[in-house]
Amino acid sequence: MSGDRVAVVGASAAGLAAAEALRRHGWQGELSLIGAEPHLPYDRPPLSKQFLSGAWESERTRLRSREQLASLGLDLRLDVAAVALDARAGLLTLSDGRELRCAGVIAATGLLSRPFPGAAGVTGVRSLRGLDDAMALRGMLRAPRQRVVVVVGNGVLGSEIAAVTRELGHEVALVGPAATPMQHSLGPCLGALLAQAHTAKGVVLHGGRRVTSLGTEGGAVRSVHLDDGTELPADLVLTATGSTPATAWLAGDDGLDLTDGLGCDTYCAAAPNLYGAGDVARWRHPVYGRELRVEHRMNATEQGAAAARNLLAGLRPRLGLKAAEFAPVPYFWSDQYDIKVQAYGLLATGGLRHTRVARGERLGAAALYGDEGLATGVAAANLPPRTVRALRAVIARPTPWDEAVAGFTTALD
């Protein structure tokens, strides 16, 4: 690549973290932060919780104020997308026709919602990916109350949307392929706890089910048909059935691996002076010894900063930075009703091997996950912060199973 500019593509949590790290570590050249949306960088997790519920306004989701962004000396380009990159030549093409010569590029373009089959042109079928989606949904859910809402997808996002929608007073059905909410991520123990919470609040669960078709009238959704023959009435269908990495702008470069996101090495490098960060990046974790693509908020910030530092270490050796492998302990959380779930390490890739349920004033539970004789992850629901920290320490690195079970048990005693 050439020029005296670094372009961060994606005005996201990962992109902003990368831009701030570049300035913090001494990059004094041009710094372009490019966002396809018209909004200043904002936080996505509150969209399905505090913002959708009406507790927060959009300004509170902003990651930085205009003044804070101005202090970075950014070439901030919003409402414009990257459409092509010639990594070897360092030429980035934007949707407004402009071309930027770059010494380095950090890809932080995140994800795109997966289109829901049969929903094209149907009124009343919505997804939640960005702030515009959230604003539209919030307006639809404000009135009238007791609309019949079907949430399709019982992973993290769908379960959170179902919880907020029910608390707003609407009739809610939650449909998904897993037997219980978030079971694919958390396993049956914590999934059952979440199912109990949803059912107690009046959400009707249709676990282990798939949507076969939508019933419409006058171009608007009226019902949802499931694979067991069930027909659910629906005024509004909210889809949370997965997403795909936003890599179309990189597809013209034959040297890149775009099998599942932007393939990167242990340093988050995809090609010379091209790095990936956040949901779009798939990298080889040096501790777990496998490729990961982590779609969680904490990883976005950490990986954005790591990618920036490693890029700058190569671009400006005089700064004395040393590139470092990116080896975080993955973390995510989910808030549903009065339940807070926190998870560390690798869960989905390992088997659920050990669980424990504690009953007190609030129902709490913890689960230990392992694979090939090693404990790789832990999850907790409604446990005190001190206990959660102790559980994290158990799997800070892959740990022999028997040793991890002992630590897990001690942390819960």
pLDDT tens by residue, 139-158: 999 877 778 999 999 999 99
Could you report the per-residue pLDDT of 207-237, keeping only the tens digit for each? 999 999 999 999 999 999 999 999 999 999 9
332 found inside a domain: no
Structure confidence at residue 108 as a pLDDT band (50, 70, 90)? very high
151 by DSSP, 3-state: which? strand
Query: Helix (H) and strand (E) counts for the chain?
Result: 10, 28
89 found inside a domain: yes
Given a cut of 60, is residue 68 above it in pLDDT? yes
Of 381, 367, 377, 380, the closest CA to residue 398 belongs to: 377
Output the average pLDDT for the chain.
Answer: 93
Q: The domain that contains 355 carries what CATH number? A: 3.30.390.30
Could you report the per-residue pLDDT of 319-363, keeping only the tens digit for each? 999 999 999 999 999 999 999 999 999 986 555 566 766 544 456
Domain that holds residue 404: 338-412
287 found inside a domain: yes
382, two tokens: 């409604």
173 and 274 both lie in a single domain? no
349 and 405 both lie in a single domain? yes
Given a cut of 50, is residue 186 above it in pLDDT? yes
Confidence (pLDDT) at 354: 67
Q: For the chain, report the end-to-end CA distance as a whole number of angstroms.
A: 56
107, two tokens: 């890809």
Range name among 10-14, 243-247, 295-299, 408-412 with the lowest pLDDT average = 408-412
Of the three residues 241, 269, 286, the one that is the final residue of a domain is: 241
> Rounded mean pLDDT of 3-14?
94
199 and 255 both lie in a single domain? no
> Rounded mean pLDDT of 243-266?
95
208 and 150 both lie in a single domain? yes
The number of folded domains in the chain is 3
Confidence (pLDDT) at 189: 83
37 and 89 both lie in a single domain? yes
53 found inside a domain: no
Q: At what angle do helices 156-167 and 188-201 cross, to 10 degrees?
A: 20
78 found inside a domain: yes
373 found inside a domain: yes
327 found inside a domain: no
325 found inside a domain: no
DSSP 115: P
* Cα separation, 218 vs 221, whole angstroms: 8
140 and 79 both lie in a single domain? no
17 and 125 both lie in a single domain? no
Q: The domain that contains 119 carries what CATH number? A: 3.50.50.60
177 and 249 both lie in a single domain? no
Amino acid at 51: F
